[in-house]
Amino acid sequence: MQNIFEVGGQVSGESFIGRKAEIEKFRNEFLNSKKRKVYSVIGLARSGKTSFVKKIFENLPDNIFYHYEDISLSTSYYSIWLNICLSLRDYIENMGEFPPEHEKYIIKVQKLVSEIVDVDTEPQLEKGGLIWDRFCRRIIDVFKTLKKALVPVILVFDEFDRAQSIFSLGTSQFMLFRTLFADGDINVSSICISRRKIETIEGKIYQSSTLANVMNFYPFKGFNNADMSEYYSILSNKYKIHIDDHCKERIEFYAGNLPFLLSIIGHEIVDSVEHGVVDIDDIYSSKCHAIVNYYHDCIEQLKRDGYINKIIPFVIGPKIGVGPNDEQILSNLGYLKIVENGRYLCICSQFSSELASYTRRYPIWENIINLEIRLKNLLMYRAPQIALDLNIKKNTVNDAEREILAQVVGSKEWGSLNNFVKNGESYFSVMSCWLTVRLIAKFWDDYFKKYFRNRNYSEYEYKFKKCTDARNPIAHGHQDYLSDAAINEVNSYCEEFFTILSEKFPQSTHIPNEKTLIWATLQKWENSEEKYKF
């Protein structure tokens, strides 16, 4: 018997499982509504977005001009519209005759299409100017004229993530899409398929996006309960394979409700089992290497899109440094879901475990080192003013720094500091992260509070302590002595401090050189060229 569970690529026919309610909804909207419909369908890679959209538009009425365009196969912005125009030319030829009252409009469309298609060389649209303006006007005229001819138009743009690299002119090329999707003289319905949000692809936020705010956002997530029932019914009824509750639990442990992963397991079940008990754990470990590869791809995608630091607090904990907006974004993208008792999963239980393993490899040490550098730079930035206000008069940087340190350092602590300073380093450069924080705390109200949103030190004391404890020199640059939860907690605090400091003390801030501190301690600060406004 043929195995209908296909692995990789698009699926159709009986291999397309589930989504019946969603397909009916979309098909009814696109075919029966008098208003145009424009959707951005966003979901995980290999979640079945393309197969779903193609299923919606199966067996369309002949009068509809429908075109599917895979942008990842396009070499340029022009080639996208070249393919659409060639498809439109074929549509007109296949339709044959049009109503007499529409014939003049069809003739005009044919003329415009010829002007776009029948060229000796590809127009260099990326140069903008008159070449772009003329091309843009012709495309708009094509679709305005199609509306006059009462030709329904449905355009599907797949792999829309590629627009980020192909749309070299940026806003103006997105604007052409906006015009087609929003202009009252045009009637184009469309679906754009992508992994990321449209505004992210544009490199903008939603409010300033050219395209996102004229599209309906549709988060494409995993199977619902009805879809899962259909999946299990096929295994039980079509292939006569007994799937008990334990078996279902193990399938969903590895695959969650994601169609691609379910198809991999389903395919291996059908190929490996005739009748009797199904050992999903054995099938996963021996047959389903594609699932492991998919897990790894998802982690890399989370890293590339900047979501890895957002998903870990939800799934692994502690849930610090993230909020409801982060939860909604990750849920809409298909990564995050809430299961029983308010627990979060990313895709499935096994992948969530992979994330826990990833946190042990996460470069927490780099975050802590960078935090120490940022805090020391802030201290160096304010040190001349501190020295001036304390009326410190010293002739060397180390003598001046020693006087400032004396505000918090006890007699027993000077020994180790002096040993490092003998090697040519300064006190501020060799002192620990913990000592840096003690100095900042000492002078908090007068010099540092404004860099931390004018909040009291007590609000940050615990977070500083966790970060300085993690910077323990005994670790020698490794985080292995920290638990997964502690790693996530410290990472979240570091990221929070980076965000706060960037508001009033960006990394581009010029740090006074060592002479500045000496000048200040000699009461020459007021006349020095290194004076800064604090």
Residues 14 and 4 sit within 8 Å (Cβ to Cβ): yes
Which residue, 200, 219, 238, sits at the end of a domain? 219
pLDDT at 175: 95
Residue 233 lies in a domain: no
Q: Tell me: pLDDT of 438 over 60.
A: yes
Angle, CA 39 vertex, CA 149 and CA 26 arms, to 5°:
80
Whichever domain contains 23, its CATH number is 3.40.50.300
Residue 351 lies in a domain: no
Number of domains making up the chain: 2
Structure token pair of residue 455: 């909040």
Q: How many C-beta atoms lie closer than 10 Å to residue 206's C-beta?
A: 13
pLDDT grade for 128, boundaries at 50, 70 and 90: confident
Domain extent at residue 163: 19-219
Residue 242 lies in a domain: no
pLDDT in tens, 50-95: 999 999 999 999 999 999 999 999 999 999 999 999 999 999 999 9
What is the mean predicted confidence (pLDDT) over 521-527? 59
pLDDT in tens, 456-497: 999 999 999 988 888 764 443 444 456 777 777 888 888 889
Q: Tell me: pLDDT of 523 over 80.
A: no
pLDDT at 411: 66
pLDDT at 16: 96
pLDDT in tens, 365-391: 778 888 988 999 999 899 989 988 888
Residue 348 lies in a domain: no
Q: Tell me: pLDDT of 239 over 60.
A: yes
Structure token pair of residue 170: 């940026």
pLDDT at 324: 85
Q: Which of these ranges, 148-152, 179-183, 409-413, 444-448, has the smallest mean pLDDT? A: 409-413
pLDDT in tens, 9-65: 899 999 999 999 999 999 999 999 889 999 999 999 999 999 999 999 999 999 999
Which residue, 184, 201, 219, sits at the end of a domain? 219
How far, in Å, are 364, 376, 438 from residue 370 at the CA level?
10, 10, 18
Residues 309 and 481 sit within 8 Å (Cβ to Cβ): no
Q: How many C-beta atoms lie closer than 10 Å to residue 469's C-beta?
A: 14
Q: Indicate if the alpha-carbon torsion angle 394, 399, 404, 410 is positive or negative.
A: negative
Residues 348 and 258 sit within 8 Å (Cβ to Cβ): yes
Which residue, 195, 219, 243, sits at the end of a domain? 219
Residue 80 lies in a domain: yes
Residue 159 lies in a domain: yes
pLDDT at 275: 54
Residue 320 lies in a domain: no
Pairwise CA distance, residues 141 & 358, whole Å: 52
Question: Which DSSP string corresponds to 199-240?
Answer: HHHHTS-GGG-SSGGGSEEEE--S--HHHHHHHHHIIIIIS-
Angle, CA 10 vertex, CA 7 and CA 12 arms, to 5°:
100
